[in-house]
Every structure is written in C-alpha cells, then in structure tokens.
C-alpha cells in the first residue's frame, strides 16, 4: 500500500482509536465499582440504539450537538476558537421562544421561518461581538467568548423578569405555528421520543456548511485565514472582516441549535435548557476533525453516550458517563497527536 | 573538537511519495572533510535525500552507513548524535527567542542552581561564534535579524550540537553577494577544521568555487558526478537537464510609452517602526522592466509590500495606470491591475495546506470568472489549474496535491505561474527566480520579457545582479531606503552597482 494512503488511513483512524481506548479505560472504572463492563456497554448500546424510542432519544440529544459542533468547527477553520457557543445557543433559544410567543397568531409558514431566523440572528449577534473585538482591538476571542457566556446567562435571566410566566423560570408557550413537528408523527417506531424535524434541519445545515467551507468564495477565504493569515492578506482577504463574518456565522449555527429544545420539544424557553450542549460542541468538533461530516458522526456518538448514560444510571453512577466523555475528549486529542507522529515517521 | 568527521555512505536509497519516486535507488558517498556539491533540477530529489540522511524522512528501502556502521536514523535527534547537522531551505528558528536560546535549545547550559542561565548560554554561543568566524549578537531576537544572520544562527546551532557533517540546503538562495562571500569563508574555515559539508545549490559556479566533488541528480536518480575538475559548469548543467541550456538572448529595447506605475515621495515604515523607505519617487512605463538593485534590508521589501497594499504609506502616493491607489487595499490594487510575486513564498505567497488549484486562485478568489456567483467549485478550479501547471512546468502537475508537498523550486514556479498568468498591467516581481533551477530560470526570464513585450510594466527586485542586468531596461539602486542611483544596463556593470549598493558612491537622485 502506498505511503500517502496509509498516512491518510492512520489519521482517519485517530478518532476511532480514541473512542475504542476511552471505552477500554471506562471498562476499568466499571470493573472497579464491581460491575460487568460488557454487560453495561451492551445495555447502553441496546437502549440507545436498539429500540425505536432509544434511537429517538439519541437523535434528539445529537441534534443540538450537530449545530454546536458545526459552530465550533467553522470557527476553527477560520483560526478562531469559539468557546461562546453555549451562550450563543442559549440566546438563540430565547430569541426563538420570544418570537414564537410574540407573534403567536401567525400561521406556520411565516412564524416558523421567523422564529428560526430570530434564533440564528441572536446567535450571530452574540458571536459577532467577540469577532469585532478581535478584529478591531486584537482582543483574544477565547477570553471574550467565555465572558460572553456568563453575560448571556445573566441577560436571559434579566429578560426573563419581564417575560417569564409568573413564578416560573420559563416563557409562555410559543404559538402553534412555531412548533417543529416530532418525527414520531411520521415514523411511529420512534414513538414517545422527542426527536423532531430539527434533526433534518441540522443535517441540511451540515450539508450547507460543507458547501460553504469547501465550495464558496467566502469559505475559501475563511480557510485561507485559518491556515495562513499572512498569505490570505496577500491574497486580498480582509482579516478583520473575515473574522467577524466567521464568528457571526459560527454564532448563527449555535443559535439555531437552540430550536431543537425550544421549538421542537418543550415549546418554551426555560432557564438552563442548554445544559452544556454548547461546550460539548467543542468535543464534537474535535472528534469530528472540524469536518461537517465528521461533526455529524461525532454528534451521534456523543448523543448515544449521553442517552446511554441515562439508562445505565441504575447500575453505575451517572458520573461515569461524564468520565467517559472526558476520556473521549482527552484521548481524541492524544490519539490525533500520536497518529500524526506515526504518520510523520512514515513521511 | 579535533575529532574528525565520519565517512558516510547512502546506499540504494529509494523513497516514494504516493506515485512520485523522489529518490530512486540513490547512492552517495561523503568523504571526511570534503565539500560535496549536490545539484539537480527542481524536484530532482535533493532535499528528500538529505532529509532521509538527517532522519526527517524514512527511506522505503536502502541503507545508511556512518563510520562504516549501518545505522537507522529515526529522527533529527538521532542524526545529531551521529554528528550530523542540517540547515534547511526554509529556516527552522523560533522567531521570538534570542540567538543564544535558539542555538542552545535542547541542550541548554545550566547555571548554579541547575536552571537555564541566559548569561551562560550567551557566553557559550559568543565563544562558538568567535571560534568559527560567524558574527552574531547572541542576545538578539531572531525576528530582528537579517536572513543572512539567521542562517549563521542555523549553522551555529548545528555546530553547537556537535555537527561534524553539515548539510546546507540552498544556503545561498536568500543571501546577498556579500553574505555569500562571508558564508563561503566560513565554510572553508569549517572544512579546514575537518567538517564535511554537503552543499545543495542551483548556482553551479558556487559548486565549482567551493566543492571538491559533485553529485548530479535528475528525476530522483543520480545521473553523474565525481571530481569537480572533471565537471565544469556546462557539464553539470547538461547532466542536470539532459541538454545544454541556451543563454538568454539580448532583447530588443522597447520604446517607453505611458507610465503604468507611478510612485511619488513614498515613505514606508518597517516592522519595528523605523523609516525603511525615504521619499522614493519613480515610474515604470509600459513595455519596460525596471530593476531594483540593493543589498537586502535597504527598504526594497517594505517598498514592494507598500506598493502591493500590504503595508501603509506614511507619505506619498501610488498610481497604477493613472489611478490613485494609495488608499486601496491589496484586493483593490489587484483589481486595478497589479500582480505581485512576493519574496517570502511560504509566509505570503502560498497557503501550504491548500491544494495547487486553490493556491492558483489566491488573490483572484473574488473575481467573477473564478466561479459562479458565490460559488467557487473545486472541480472548476482544478480543471483550470491543469493547463497553467503544465504551461509553467510545475512538477508534479497534480491540481489536487497540497502545495506544501512541492519542492521549493516548484513552489516558486507555482507562485510565478499564478501571478504571470493573470495579465495584470503592473507586475511586482520580488526575487522571482529564487530557488528555481537553471532551466526554470530561463523560462521565467522569458516570461518576464514576454510580459514586458506585451506592454506591461515590470518592477523587478533581485539580489542577483546578473538577473537585474540581463532583464532590466532601467535600473535603480536602493541604499538605506533611498533610490540613490539610476542607470541602464549598457552603462553599468556589477562592480559599479555594487559600489552604489554599499553607499560608496555619492547620492545621485534627490
Ligand atoms: N512531503 C511530500 N509529499 C509528497 N511529495 C513530496 C513531498 N516532499 C517532496 N515530494 C516530492 O518529491 C520530489 C522531490 O522533491 P525534493 O524536495 O527532494 O526536490 P529538490 O531536488 O529539493 O527540489 P528543489 O530544488 O526545488 O528544492 C518532488 O516531486 C516533490 O513534489
Ligand atoms: Mg529542495
């Protein structure tokens, strides 16, 4: 086999190796608490993928991760580390809910697009802020996106004081026109699971992101800035403008991630709904090697892991799943480095 | 110190990259204490062979013997332990560290408390530099050094780590003539102390001047070599390309017509905020090549970057085809009719991780005919690239390959292909033939002349005076940021230019 192909295979195998290794290490933990790892894993697998309901739950959990994974990946491609995905998703969800409530009377053809637009716009605006700060003042986006997460949480609580239902931490229910239909309406096998058409939207958006990155002028400039900023500048790309656009796009993707829960499941916004989906997006992008296809696969994996974690809650503490997730992240990074070193050897 | 260099033999080395056979059954002997020239066309496999020897690449087959023992060299660290050192085509220094820190990196001298001692490092490096006649300031940061000084740091680094065999990959490509002389003095000195030296270069005269033996490579194989006395320059050139290279024909001089590039009273700052260009005023007319001669670091770089829109003008203005472009961005100027071959190919000219096709559209990615609407389809880019790659003989001509996989000279050809194929009214060519082989130099020279004959205005910056003299219709000399001398090739020679370049003739221009 020729060296090039072997190298590519090695690099492609890194995420799989990471997953396998983390399961192996996880097995040691399970053994340590006196359980049978194989049985636990089998249970996880069966419950999260083996039944229609479980599959639906897994897909439901994976949906926002596709959006947030794409958001982080797009930022990375432009050389920007967007840690603010959590806050962008949060505000996206809030904006979708407020739109759905305020214009509740509109029919679905108007209301749903408007609510989606509001989610994307809110995320984009929240993402653009650190983009502008970086482009104008050189302020590092990592710091600013982290800070903006806290501000987003506080902002949502503050707005909530005026719009939440009395004595609750949630908004009113959105108009029927803003609801995103559940998949079990079309696929009875998924009965009872909250997976909804947001999943389809996520897949479309992933395809769109792929096209954007690899088939458009803007995507070309984004990648050029990420790979070699000085050469991009030479090529007539405005670094600042591209950074702002990239952060806004990244934020828009994250914002859209909020609709899965808000419009597709509960039909209202409630405090704390994001539950780490934004942060997990970083891991998803990492495992998916910042490629939209990889992101979708990685999101499904993390989705299965988090739902599988719920079902084994009886046998093992749910912290185990968090340990597993952390292991995957750690190992995904180290496997990548290892494989790259291997591949370099072969160069 | 006196311990002599080990003999080295490379036996039947083969190394493939996908379908490309970069080294095909190559054997090479290095006798202790010799200077060995390694020559060949771009992509012949010279760098690959030396990277195999230095442990950066593993051969697919073949063996390496050092001092008569078969060895496997897994890494540069292993190579260093065997007494090998390498100065790469593209330097590998940490910009933000000092000279002493770079040199001692990996084997830092420790102070009294067992911690790194900058003072001790600087002292050691200063002593080493003095011993080998390599003037550098051990406390200076790399980013503030000239290219020649950075190269001396690379050599010092190798020597510090105990190199007895020194591999230099195109060391003279980026140097000024004066720096080349200094380097050769150092290399002769090292040889006198018993160091073996491998010298890769495209300038065959350097091999004649310095080496005792030469090896000629073509398309991955050794096609000849031996004692330098039996290999005059013409013989080496013939072995390299398989036929004799026709000399550049003297050109018909063109009538100057309209000025396409006009520069008035331009002031430009360098990275440190010092004034690098002082009140530069000149014009380049259509159908004319204007050569800009000067010792590197006298403001040429800043001038070109400013003309290209990559650096602000503090004062003055720039007109391209009668249009004031002073306030335009790089893209605006490109649209106004400017092409630019930058001097730093890996930082400015290429996105190494992108494909050849993608690199060929860099700077034109927004032009309407590059794609459809907002789309820039990969397929269309690759289809278009194929023709350009073939025309400019970029090897291998595979549009989907990453640019970083090309040999240095082929990267340069790729950039030249992009900039010369766009039909811009004004061409800024900074060191357009740096690192390319003889055949490709002749080809690129023809191309520049053809641009001129097509009525374009070419500003040629080069540290090769022979190139300036051969191509230019008019010549300016730049010294300490000013254009101090204007002349024509027929009225001057390398010596006279050299005097102006070093400020030993009084200023002529205002
Ligand atoms: N990392 C790589 N991946 C794929 N191909 C490579 C890689 N490195 C080198 N090659 C190929 O191997 C061949 C030899 O390249 P090499 O860099 O050794 O040439 P060279 O003789 O040093 O040329 P130059 O004078 O232009 O520097 C070229 O065809 C090049 O494209
Ligand atoms: Mg080379």
Structural tokens at position B344: 């730093």
Contact B184, B210 (CB under 8 A): yes
Q: Are B2 and B194 in contact (CB under 8 A)?
A: yes
Structure confidence at residue B254 (pLDDT):
61
Report if pTM > 0.90.
no
Contact B16, A2 (CB under 8 A): yes
User: Token digits for A187?
Assistant: 């696929």
- Using most ligand atoms within 8 A of CB, pick from B45, B201, B220 the residue to mutate for ligand 1: B45
Domain boundaries of chain A, sorted by first residue? 68-298
Tell me how far the alpha carbon of residue B356 lies from the centroid of ligand 1, in angstroms.
14
B459 Cβ partners below 8 Å, 6+ apart?
Answer: B261, B284, B289, B290, B292, B304, B307, B426, B427, B428, B429
Per DSSP bridges, beta strands B313-320 and B323-324 are antiparallel
3-state secondary structure B454-505: CCCEEEEECCCHHHHHHHCCEEEEEECCEEEEEECHHHCCHHHHHHHHCCCC
Among all bound ligands, the one having the nearest atom to the CA of B51 is: 1
**What is the mean pLDDT of each successive set of 10 residues along chain B, which is 510 residues long?**
79 92 96 96 94 94 94 93 90 87 84 76 91 88 83 92 94 83 92 95 93 96 94 90 66 72 95 92 95 90 96 95 92 94 91 96 92 92 94 92 92 95 94 89 91 93 90 94 94 90 63
Locate tokens 């034109």: which residue? B364
Kindly report the nearest CA distance between residue B19 and chain A, in angstroms: 8
The count of other CB atoms within 10 Å of the CB of residue B373 is: 8
A83 conformational bin, left if phi > 0, alpha if psi -120 to 50, beta if neither: alpha
Domains and CATH numbers, chain B: 8-241 (3.40.50.300), 254-337+424-510 (3.40.50.300), 356-423 (no CATH)
Whole-number Cα distances in Å, B321 to A111, B291, B336, B451: 54, 19, 8, 16
Query: From A225, which residue of chain B is nearest by alpha-carbon distance?
Result: B351
Q: How far apart are CA A75 and CA A246, in angstroms?
A: 6
Strand pairing report for B457-461 and B288-293: parallel
Cα of B202 from ligand 2 centre, angstroms: 10
Neighbours of ion ligand 2 (CB under 5 A): B 47, 407-408
The closest alpha carbon to B166, from B22, B67, B33, belongs to B33
Three-state secondary-structure class, residue B297: coil
Do B34 and B167 touch, CB atoms closer than 8 A? no
pLDDT digits (tens, 9 = 90+) for B182-195: 899 999 999 999 99
Q: Measuring CA to CA, which residue among B264, B221, B218, B257 is closest to residue B237?
A: B218
pLDDT attached to residue B256:
62
ipTM score for this prediction:
0.90
Residue with tokens 């790194």: B116
Percentage helix, strand, coil for chain A under 3-state DSSP, each rounded to 5: 80, 0, 20
Peptide bond connecting B59 to the previous residue in cis, omega within 30 degrees of 0: no
Nearest Cα to Cα of residue B398 among B21, B19, B16: B19
- Supply angle C-alpha B480, B486, B490, rounded to 5: 130
Whole-angstrom distance between the N-terminal and C-terminal Cα of chain A?
14
Ligand 1, atom 28: nearest CA belongs to which residue? B43
- Structure token pair of residue B65: 């013997």
Minimal Cβ distance to A227: which of B354, B365, B366: B354
pLDDT in tens, A299-314: 999 999 889 888 888 8
The closest CB to that of A236, out of B16, B331, B353, belongs to: B331
Cα distances from B329 to residues A132, B307, B336, in angstroms, run 19, 10, 10
- Chain B positions touching A232 (Cβ under 8 A) are 351
How many CB atoms lie under 10 A from the CB of residue B423? Answer: 11
Which CA distances in Å does B417 have to A28, B342, B410?
A: 58, 13, 10
Low-confidence residues of chain A, pLDDT below 70?
A: 1-5, 7, 343-347
Predicted confidence at residue A29, as pLDDT, reads: 87
């Amino acid at each position: 086999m020729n060296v090039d192909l072997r190298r590519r295979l090695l690099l492609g195998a890194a995420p799989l190796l990471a997953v396998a290794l983390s399961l192996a290490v996880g097995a040691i933990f399970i053994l340590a608490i006196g359980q049978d790892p194989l049985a636990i894993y089998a249970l996880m697998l069966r419950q999260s993928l083996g039944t229609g309901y479980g599959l639906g739950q897994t897909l439901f959990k994976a949906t926002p991760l596709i959006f947030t994974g794409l958001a982080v990946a797009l930022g990375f491609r432009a050389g920007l580390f967007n840690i603010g995905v959590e806050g962008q998703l949060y505000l996206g969800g809030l904006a979708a809910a407020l739109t759905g409530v305020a214009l509740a009377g509109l029919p679905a053809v108007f209301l749903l697009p408007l609510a989606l637009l509001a989610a994307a716009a809110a995320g984009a605006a929240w993402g653009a802020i650190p983009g502008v700060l970086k482009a104008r003042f050189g302020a590092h986006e990592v710091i600013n996106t982290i800070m903006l997460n806290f501000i987003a949480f506080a902002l949502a609580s503050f707005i909530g004081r005026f719009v939440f239902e009395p004595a609750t931490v949630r908004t009113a229910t959105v108009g029927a026109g803003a609801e995103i239909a559940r998949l079990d309406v079309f696929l009875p096998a998924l009965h009872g699971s909250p997976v909804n058409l947001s999943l389809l939207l996520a897949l479309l958006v992933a395809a769109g992101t792929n096209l954007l990155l690899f088939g458009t002028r803007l995507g070309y400039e984004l990648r050029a800035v990420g790979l070699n900023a000085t050469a991009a500048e030479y090529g007539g790309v405005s670094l600042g403008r591209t950074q702002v656009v990239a952060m806004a796009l990244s934020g828009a993707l994250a914002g859209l991630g909020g609709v899965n829960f808000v419009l597709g499941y509960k039909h209202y916004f409630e405090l704390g709904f994001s539950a780490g989906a934004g942060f997990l997006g970083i891991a998803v992008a990492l495992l998916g090697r910042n490629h939209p296809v990889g992101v979708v696969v990685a999101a499904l994996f993390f989705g299965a892991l988090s739902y599988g974690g719920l079902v084994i809650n009886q046998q093992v503490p749910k912290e185990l799943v968090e340990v597993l997730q952390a292991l995957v992240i750690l190992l995904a990074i180290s496997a990548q480095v290892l494989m790259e070193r291997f591949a370099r050897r072969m160069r | 110190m006196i311990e002599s260099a080990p003999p080295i033999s490379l036996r039947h080395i083969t190394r493939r990259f996908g379908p490309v056979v970069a080294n095909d059954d190559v054997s090479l002997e290095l006798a202790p204490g010799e200077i060995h020239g390694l020559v060949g066309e771009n992509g012949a496999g010279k760098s690959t062979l030396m990277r195999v020897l230095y442990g950066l690449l593993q051969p697919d087959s073949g063996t390496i013997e050092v001092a008569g023992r078969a060895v496997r060299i897994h890494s540069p660290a292993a190579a260093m332990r065997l007494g090998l050192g390498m100065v790469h085509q593209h330097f590998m220094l940490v910009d933000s560290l000092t000279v002493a820190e770079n040199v001692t990196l990996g084997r830092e001298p420790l102070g009294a408390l067992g911690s790194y001692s900058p003072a001790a490092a600087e002292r050691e490096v200063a002593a080493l530099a003095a011993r080998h006649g390599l003037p550098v300031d051990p406390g200076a940061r790399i980013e503030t050094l000239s290219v020649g000084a950075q190269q001396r740091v690379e050599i010092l680094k190798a020597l510090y780590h105990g190199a007895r065999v020194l591999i230099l990959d195109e060391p003279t490509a980026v140097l000024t003539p004066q720096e080349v002389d200094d380097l050769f003095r150092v290399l002769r000195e090292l040889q006198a102390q018993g160091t073996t030296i491998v010298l890769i270069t495209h300038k065959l005269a350097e091999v004649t001047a310095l080496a005792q033996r030469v090896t000629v490579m073509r398309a991955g194989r050794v096609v000849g070599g031996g004692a330098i006395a039996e290999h005059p320059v013409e013989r080496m050139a013939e072995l390299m390309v398989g036929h004799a290279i026709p000399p550049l024909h003297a050109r018909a001089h063109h009538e100057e017509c309209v000025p396409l590039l006009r520069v008035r009273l331009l002031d430009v700052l360098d990275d440190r905020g010092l004034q690098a260009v002082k009140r530069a005023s000149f014009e380049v007319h259509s159908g004319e090549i204007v050569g800009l001669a000067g010792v590197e670091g006298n403001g040429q770089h800043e001038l070109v970057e400013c003309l290209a829109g990559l650096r602000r003008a503090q004062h003055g203005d720039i007109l391209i085809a009668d249009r004031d472009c002073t306030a335009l961005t790089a893209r605006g100027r490109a649209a106004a009719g400017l092409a630019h071959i930058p001097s730093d190919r890996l930082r400015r000219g290429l996105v190494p991780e992108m494909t050849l096709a993608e690199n060929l559209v860099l700077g034109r990615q927004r032009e309407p005919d590059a794609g459809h609407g907002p789309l820039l389809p990969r397929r269309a880019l690759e289809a278009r690239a194929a023709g350009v790659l073939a025309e400019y003989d970029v090897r291998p001509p595979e549009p989907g390959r990453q640019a970083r996989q090309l040999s240095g000279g082929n990267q340069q050809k790729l950039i030249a292909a992009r900039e010369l194929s766009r039909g811009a009214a004004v061409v800024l060519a900074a060191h357009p033939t740096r690192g390319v082989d003889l055949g490709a130099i002749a080809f690129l020279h023809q191309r520049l002349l053809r641009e001129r004959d097509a009525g374009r205005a070419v500003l040629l910056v080069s540290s090769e005076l022979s190139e300036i003299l051969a191509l230019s219709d008019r010549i300016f000399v730049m010294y300490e940021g000013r254009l101090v001398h204007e002349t024509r090739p027929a009225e001057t020679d390398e010596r006279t230019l050299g005097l102006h370049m070093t400020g030993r003739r009084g200023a002529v221009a205002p």
